[in-house]
Structure 1
Amino acid sequence: MSHTNEHATVTALGGGAEISAEVLSTLAEIGEEVNASLDLDEVLARTAALIKRHIDYEIFGVLMIEGDGTYLRHRFAIGYPRELADNLRIPLGQGITGTAAATGHSVRVSDTSKDARYINAIDSVRSELAVPLMLQGKCVGVLDIQSRHLDYFTRDQLNILTL
């Protein structure tokens, strides 16, 4: 660990990206929230707020694999119209989130208008970052954040979400 005047940093495994003590503290808080509450909606809302401290997204979603493992459905959403979040079903392998779920790998899109996988559910979205949620080596869902700005999400932000 290296120290600066006010911030401690560590190097993320394999990525060479420095993660601040503040980010590590936030990750620890997320872990505490998960362990302290049995209310999944409360845990997801708190997690969204903690992530927002470091990544100023406009849209946040947690999609879970349902339908005998054939599609993703929102379990929690911020910034989506209610009806869209309630009714959207994304087949595995389709769209940005479906690709992340099917492959088990994160997907970072700098310009959604140039990515054929993008499902245009919200016209203003220009950047998207989808991170698979893995349990015992198997994808169970996807954390998805979106922005109206082109090339918004960074590799460092991706590293934060995959720690």
Structure 2
Amino acid sequence: MKFNTLKPQLSEILTDKDRSIEIRLEEICKLLKKEIAHYDWVGFYFKNGDKAELKLGPYVGAPTDHTIIPFGSGICGQVAVSNQNFVVPDVAAQDNYIACSINVKSEIVIPIFVKGENVGQIDIDSNTPDPFKEEDERFLEWINTQVAEILD
């Protein structure tokens, strides 16, 4: 599977201490969008200080107006509250969905934990209906474990 072939490149990006964390996260977004056909928008959201909201971090894809997302709102806001992965095969079927683009058909959001605290998430939008499989979840969990290490 392509995911395993990307792990060495991702590890190299993440362990490059000559670059800021923000640059490293942006490089991850670029690599994922370039190499995985159904990853059309790739970004990170992080808890915004002590506020009950997420703030957009590095991302690659179409610009979004959703730079701040209240906890509980949309898929990302729900993950901030539930601490659970959220895979959405069809965004049109979701009641609590914040549309970033009319082209988006599906979404996957995986939380990032540092010392047991949900500090953020990786968010992937796809213009393809129902493309996300268990392998995507496991791969993104692996990425978030690595990201958590550089955030700690």
Taking structure 2 as the reference length, the TM-score comes to 0.80
Go from structure 1 to structure 2 and tell me whether the alpha carbon gap of 1:72 and 1:80 turns closer, same or farther (over 3 Å shift).
farther
CA distance in 2, matches of 1:72, 1:145: 15
RMSD of aligned Cα (Å):
2.2
Equivalent of 1:151, from 130, 133, 140?
130
Equivalent of 2:18, from 33, 37, 40?
37
SS in 1 for 2:135: helix
Identity %: 27
Q: Which has the larger radius of gyration?
A: 1
Q: How much has 1:155 moved relative to structure 2?
A: 1.3
CA distance in 2, matches of 1:46, 1:121: 21
Taking structure 1 as the reference length, the TM-score comes to 0.75
Which structure carries more relative contact order (alpha carbon 8 Å, separation 6+)? 2
- Deviating above 3 A after TM superposition, structure 1's stretches of 4 or more consecutive aligned residues are none
Which residue in 2 is equivalent to 1:90?
A: 69
Range 102-111 or range 66-75, more displaced: 66-75
Do 1:23 and 1:160's aligned partners in 2 also have CA atoms closer than 8 Å?
A: no
CA distance in 2, matches of 1:148, 1:52: 12
Q: How much has 1:162 moved relative to structure 2?
A: 0.3
Alignment of 1:8-157 (within 5 A): 20=4, 22-33=5-16, 36-52=17-33, 54-56=35-37, 57-66=39-48, 68-81=50-63, 84=65, 88-157=67-136
Q: Which has the higher helix share?
A: 2
Q: Which has the higher strand share?
A: 1
How many residue pairs get aligned? The number is 141
Q: How much has 1:28 moved relative to structure 2?
A: 2.6
Structure 1 segments unaligned to the other structure (5+ residues): 1-8, 10-18
Q: How much has 1:107 moved relative to structure 2?
A: 0.7
Go from structure 1 to structure 2 and tell me whether the alpha carbon gap of 1:139 and 1:64 turns closer, same or farther (over 3 Å shift).
same
